[in-house]
Amino acid sequence: MTAKKSSNPKDNENLIFVHTADLHLDSPFHGLSEINPQLSDVMTKATFAAYNNIIDTCIEKNADFLLISGDIYDSADKSLYAQLKFLEGLKRLSAAGIATYITHGNHDPLNGWSASLEWPDNVKVFSGDDVENVFVEKNGKVVATINGISYRTKNILENLAKRFQQKEPGSPFTIGMLHCTVGSGEGHDPYAPCTMQDLKGSDYDYWALGHIHYPQVMTTDPYIVYSGNPQGRDPGELGERGCMLVEVNEKGDTKVDFVPVDSVRWYIEEISVEELETEADLIGALEDKMDKLSEIAEGRYVICRFRLQGRSQLKRLLIKEDFLNDIVQHLRENYNIGPGSVWIERLKDETSFPFERENLLSKDNFISDILSITDEICSDCGDLKELDEPLHSLFGKGKIRHVLRSFDDEELVSIARNAEELLLNKLIPEGEYEDN
């Protein structure tokens, strides 16, 4: 880092900034448009709505600047519409005297297509050649320094964290901006992989990271923070989403607050059917959960996947053709598009009959034979492969073979277990569930 006379944030005014990343503007949404065109429209606009809420937050909180740590756009060949919307937000910030600092990530590398748009003067896009260092001045004093680097191309596998120079003693509040994978980064492509120690070693005060979509403050000394993406886009991006509001006082004490900015929220909820006996009980339980979600989401749109779990006689109803579909259709018809309403994305049956398997297995009869055979099949790869053969003659034909590859072991085990359940249901009369 270039040596330059440093100073702390000025006495009576704190340094305030907002950190975001992974806006993924104009992310495509599939599957909803035919079932619910209105909600599909809300989803299509949701990434832009979240971005606008971030701009509003910056203006309301009188922030000094906004940091965007990569993946502004969803694809390298970003749409012109997304770029124009993005520019609108930057202009609003600029008019409020708020600067924006941008690093690009794997979804929007510098070598992708960009329209010839002119950014406002106080927008800084970090280069992809090397780490750049910018000083932030406030009332004639340097109050912060920001270091960052963009992705030149998508596949950056270099540990970019090692390129950042160490903070020199006496430097002002120092920020690093990077789109990277800290640690294992489970479920994410390992772009710009680095360790927590790489980041700590630079002695910075705040690492504004992008790439991992789940918001998290990894450590507070120093602050190593993923803001997460400000709008969840599918059931893999659950719960509240937002940006980080950071305030640093004259002593350098730092406060980081998560500010939700999402307009549509995704949930996956488990419902136990153990205490439920009738279809009315089940619908009641679903409606209760939907009311609770609507409350938690504070007026946002909610999309939820329900997973039914546990052992219950209700299973006899759940396996009836179209039983679950009818419930979903009924609850969806009661859905009124509007903030606070809950849309059921899927209702998944993961329940089982109320048999005590261990108990049945301990006996010496036809049923215990069936259970032992299933156990044998499930524990032996060779037996599982044999199971695949007859299934393949069903699914390996015609057009379906283009979409359905052969089953993996996990799927075969689940097919065998389901078959066992159906057999037991046929073999054990309803009244005798409890006695077995």
The binding site for Mn ion (CB under 5 A) comprises 22, 71
| 71 or 345: CB nearest Mn ion | 71
Residue in this structure with the two tokens 């909180």, named with its chain if needed: 61
Minimum Å gap between C-beta 82 and Mn ion is 14
Please give the Cα distance from 15 to 148 (Å, whole number).
19
340 alpha-carbon distance from chain centroid: 20
Amino acid identity, position 308: L
Using the minimum distance from each CB to Mn ion, give the nearer residue, 27 or 312.
Answer: 27
Which sign, positive or negative, has the C-alpha torsion 100, 106, 111, 117? Answer: negative
Q: Of 140 and 187, which CB lies nearer to Mn ion in the complex structure?
A: 187
Q: What angle do CA 357, 359, 361 make, to 5 degrees?
A: 70
How many whole angstroms separate alpha carbon 318 and alpha carbon 283?
12
**240 exposure class (CB count in 10 Å sphere: 0-12, 13-18, 19+):** middle
- Shortest distance, position 221 Cβ to Mn ion, whole Å: 26
Q: Report the nearest approach of Mn ion to the CB of residue 191 (Å).
A: 9
* Beta carbon nearer to Mn ion, 41 or 240: 240
Helices (H) and strands (E) in the chain, counts: 11, 17
Minimum distance from residue 229 beta carbon to Mn ion (Å):
6
Q: How far apart are CA 35 and CA 339, in angstroms?
A: 18
Question: What token pair was written down for 385?
Answer: 């492969």
Whether omega before 222 lies within 30 degrees of 0, making that bond cis, reads yes
Q: Which is nearer to Mn ion, 25 or 290 (CB)?
A: 25
Looking at the Cβ atoms of 22 and 64, the one nearer to Mn ion is 22
Compute the least distance from the CB of residue 408 to Mn ion, in Å.
28
| Closest to Mn ion by CB, 22 or 420 | 22
CB of 22 to Mn ion, least distance (A): 4
Q: Which residue lies nearer to Mn ion by CB, 214 or 258? A: 214
CB of 189 to Mn ion, least distance (A): 9
What strand order describes the sheet that includes 264-272? Answer: 264-272, 301-311, 342-352
Nearest to 298 by CA among 268, 253, 265, 252: 265
Q: How far is the CB of 70 from Mn ion (least distance, A)?
A: 7
- In the complex with Mn ion, the residue whose CB is nearer, 192 or 416, is 192
- The H-assigned helical ranges of 348-408 are 357-362, 366-379, 381-395, 400-403
| DSSP per position, 292-318 | HHHHHTTT-EEEEEEEEEEE-TTHHHH
d(CA 71, CA 22): 4
CA 18 to chain centroid, in Å, comes to: 20
Residue 107 CB, nearest approach to Mn ion (Å):
5
Distance CA 394, CA 405 (A): 12
